[in-house]
Chains A and B, each alone.
Chain A
Amino acid sequence: MADEGHAPTTGDAPARRRGQGELEAQVLAVLQRAPGPATAGWVQERLEGDLAYTTVMTILSRLHAKNAVSRSRSGRSYLWQASSDAAGLAALRMRRMLDGEADRDAVLASFVTALLPHDEELLRTLLDAASADPAATDRES
């Protein structure tokens, strides 16, 4: 997956509403269930909640900007196809959150915190000690 960390906001920056992520995920889920490339109308029919056609188009374009879907022209309209799975989309959004929130580590308990300069050497020594156990696996290089 390409690193689309900051996808272009495609001219609708104020549309950063709540629920945008859910809508994107829903549309993506519908596209993934599609037997093949699908039109926006097909997606709209299968989405729960009465969404306007233009809304579906907006979401599809947004997903396209994020490389989450691909499209091909067919006659006068586009055919859409999911190129990335839900996990990929979640990873994109998570990445954006992590990049955007400078001190997210204060909120979310991270597994490891940043290392001080000496720590790396120290850790390698400790790792050797931990791996020296005969019972431990010998995957240490």
Chain B
Amino acid sequence: MGLFVFLPLVLPLTAVPIARLTEQHLHPRGAARLMTVISAVLAVCSVLCLGLIGVVGTAQIPGNPLPDSWSDPEVRAALPYHETVGTAAMWLLALVGTACARTVVRHLRVRARARRALSGLPAGQGSAGDLAVLPDSSPYAYALPGSPGRVVVSTGMLDGLAADEREALLAHERAHLRHRHHRYLLTTQLAACVNPFLRPLQNAVAYSAERWADEDSAQAVGDRRITARAVARAALVSHAAPAPGFAAFAAPTAAAGPVPRRVAALLGPVPTSRNWPPATTPAGLAAMVAAIGTAASALCALNAAVALLVVLKAVTPL
């Protein structure tokens, strides 16, 4: 194995064009699924690659917990190694582990707190059983995953919407729960923790999940315009409340934010529902590139891992 061990760490750079192309050309459902799988595979490969570089690089450092035989001259001869790079890889690995653990803990904590907040509200019967309307003047609407999942909407949000728009909002949140979108979000968040190059995919999956729920909602209420109005009005109602400071930082960009893009997409034509575009279109090409990149990354990582295992197995007396 040579320098290509590092490939899985750099390949995620392709995430930006992948995200852009899939977002534009694929049905949101397909886009969310594809990008989640891609980012998960690339993240796993990155971890493997880091571990490999770390193990090989630090095996010679005296006092490390790895078996002595791993620093055998034979191993040194067989594998490219560098102590500094190896140590850095180990530190990075520890950092990645901490970041992932923090993400998971935060995820579970927010869900538990939200669930506890609702614990006093018994679930109702019938189709509206999962709905919790909270008397709060500040507008918000959340899908709270779990079994059963619940939809939390404040009266502040409902007051801002017409009756048909409320239906669209509920359909949207229920689509999140039905398709378990929180899993997509968590997976891509963890992937972005592992390799920051995967962050564009995380944002793209979050956007695609919203679009997916929008499309489901539009289908449920039977009119895409109603969902479009619901999204737009909800955003305007929420905007009246002080917006998070972070939005202001993005001020210089003239590009439209995610919410107007969602509304515009809903006002546009229905996205084609096929999951894999023909290979001759730009979308097909993008999907191909993504698939090939992912496969190459996976192969590199696998190859490197197998090479390491073979060498270590040969020198480890077990």
Could you tell me which A residues sit within 8 Å of B by CB distance?
Answer: 1, 18, 21-22, 24-26, 28-29, 86-91, 93-98, 100-101, 103-104, 106-120, 122-124, 126-127, 129-131, 133, 135-137, 139
Contact = CB atoms under 8 A, between A and B. Distances in A.
Interface residues of B, number: 72
A107 B143 CA distance: 10
A94 to B, nearest CB: 4
Contact of A123 (B140, B253, B259): B259
A124 to B, nearest CB: 7
Interface string B242-268: 011011101101111111100110010
A103 B117 contact: no
Given A120-B239, A123-B259, A133 B117 contact: no
Contacts of A111: 140-142, 157, 169, 172-173, 231, 234
A113 B267 CA distance: 19
Contacts of A25: 119-120
Given A22-B119, A126-B260, A91 B236 contact: no
B119 A112 contact: no
A29 B120 CA distance: 8
Given A116-B255, A130-B229, 17 more contacts: A21-B120, A22-B119, A87-B121, A90-B119, A93-B117, A101-B106, A106-B107, A109-B213, A111-B141, A119-B257, A119-B259, A126-B228, A126-B263, A127-B232, A129-B267, A136-B225, A137-B164
B188 to A, nearest CB: 10
Nearest to A119: B257
Interface string B177-210: 0000110011001000000000000000000011
Interface stretch (B21-29, B48-56, B129-137): B129-137
A90 B144 contact: no
Contacts of A89: 120
7 contacts: A87-B135, A94-B152, A108-B143, A113-B259, A114-B243, A116-B251, A136-B226
A-B CB proximity, top 7 nearest? A25-B120, A93-B117, A91-B134, A116-B257, A111-B141, A114-B247, A112-B235
